[in-house]
Amino acid sequence: MIKRMINDKEQTIVDFFAEYQLAKAKIYKLLTSSSVLVNGVVATAKMMVYPQDKIAITFDEIAEDAVSFWDFDIDIVYEDDDILLVNKPAGILIHSDGLVGETLTNAVHFYLQKKKNFLPAYCIHRLDLETTGLVLFAKNPLALAHLSFQMENRQITKKYVAVVEGIFNPLHGIIDLNIGRNRHINNCYRVASSGKNAVTTYQTIQSNKQKSLVAAEIITGRTHQIRVHFSHLHHPIIGDKIYGKTKGKLMLFSQALKFIHPQTKQAVSFELDIPREFMLNTNE
């Protein structure tokens, strides 16, 4: 698949790619494999490009290996040439664990190949198996590099809603507690002074005598971060079978994402409505 772009300033072709935070090795590979055309001419590392120049890129040389597919209908929230946002259902892995091929990524691949887009899709962040809501995918290596840079530098805002046991006191605040592995339980984490820095902000939206609906934003991105923080404060998420005691569906929903679009370089935000089953009867 060829991505066609219009350059917007005078610069070298290397600087054009560097704006997307693409690794130098990948820039070199694209240019030495004649994968980049500028106004129909094969680009070299020293070539200058100018406003309104037409740049065509074939990503085959730097794309990952062959992808797998899963015929599963995905709920698409937004799509353009660079990004895809999906509303993830519960019970589906984002990436294969080596055993399961029925993953959200493979469902995205199936959807894209039906549209004659055979490049791999790249998930920018992860959600736990039972967590639902917004997941962001990059549709080409340039978008991947740009969004991954934002993720690594904590420039992507990720907001969640959760239904938890009890009522927070205070009703809003910042949880700044390190998180590390629980050595006694596989795939389990805990608050630990020796762990990695983890910061979560929270705001109570609704509450009754038994439960609260809480909005949370993760400033860092540790595994199970919201679940661990809330459980440590004795407000585990309803349905959390690892860090809580209640049964049923995990009531944790990825509601909103904000980031810089890799193509336009402008801030964009996407927000889903809070699921009805998360809303509380405040008379209880």
Please compute the mean of the pLDDT values over residues 209-232 and round it to a whole number: 95
pLDDT at 245 over 80: yes
The count of C-alpha atoms lying within 13 angstroms of the C-alpha of 60, restricted to the half-sphere facing its C-beta, is 7
Instruction: Note the pLDDT of residue 165.
Output: 96
65 tagged catalytic: no
Domains and CATH numbers, the chain: 2-58 (3.10.290.10), 66-153 (3.30.2350.10), 158-255 (3.30.2350.10)
> Residues 210-228: what's their mean pLDDT?
95
The candidate with the shortest Cα–Cα distance to 259, out of 11, 64, 129, 82, is: 82
- 17-27 mean pLDDT: 95
| pLDDT score for 243 | 94
pLDDT tens track for 175-201: 999 999 998 888 899 999 999 999 999
Average pLDDT, the chain: 93
Please pick, among 53, 82, 128, 240, the residue that the annotation labels catalytic.
Answer: 128
Task: Report which residue type is found at 219.
Answer: I
Tell me, what's the pLDDT at 187? 84
CB neighbourhood size of 234 (10 A)? 10
Residue 183: per-residue pLDDT = 87
Taking only the tens place, the pLDDT of each residue in 53-102 is 999 999 988 987 667 889 999 999 999 999 999 999 999 999 877 777 79
d(CA 112, CA 155): 27
Going by pLDDT thresholds of 50, 70 and 90, the confidence category of residue 221 is confident
Measured in degrees and rounded to the nearest 5, phi and psi for residue 109 equal -60, -40
Would you place residue 284 in the very low, low, confident or very high pLDDT band (cuts 50, 70, 90)? low
73 class by beta-carbon count within 10 Å (0-12 exposed, 13-18 middle, 19+ buried): exposed
- What's the pLDDT at 184? 84
